[in-house]
Amino acid sequence: MRLKNKVALITGSSSGIGRATAILFAKEGAKVVLVDVNDEGGRETLAMIEEAGNEASYIHADVSKAVDCEQMIAFAEKTYGKLNVLFNNAGIMHSDDGNAMSTDEKVWDLTMNINVKGVFFGCKYGIPALQRAGGGSIINTASFVALLGAATPQIAYTASKGAVLSMTRELAVIHARENIRVNALCPGPLRTKLLMDFLNTEEKKQRRLVHVPMGRFGEAEEMAKAVLYLASDDSSYTTGTEFLVDGGIRAAYVTPE
Active-site amino acid positions: 157
How long is the chain? 257
- Cβ-contact 208, 199 below 8 angstroms: yes
Q: What is the DSSP string of the chain?
A: -TTTT-EEEEESTTSHHHHHHHHHHHHTT-EEEEEES-HHHHHHHHHHHHHTT--EEEEE--TTSHHHHHHHHHHHHHHHS---EEEE------TT--STTTS-HHHHHHHHHHHTHHHHHHHHHHHHHHHHTT-EEEEEE--GGGTS--SS--HHHHHHHHHHHHHHHHHHHHHGGGTEEEEEEEE-SB-SHHHHHHS-SHHHHHHHHTT-TT-S-B-HHHHHHHHHHHHSGGGTT--S-EEEESTTHHHHH----
Question: Could you tell me which residues come within 8 angstroms of residue 21 by beta carbon, excluding any fewer than 6 positions away?
Answer: 10, 13, 87, 89, 220, 223, 224, 227, 228
C-alpha dihedral, 204 to 206 to 207 to 213, nearest 10°: 140
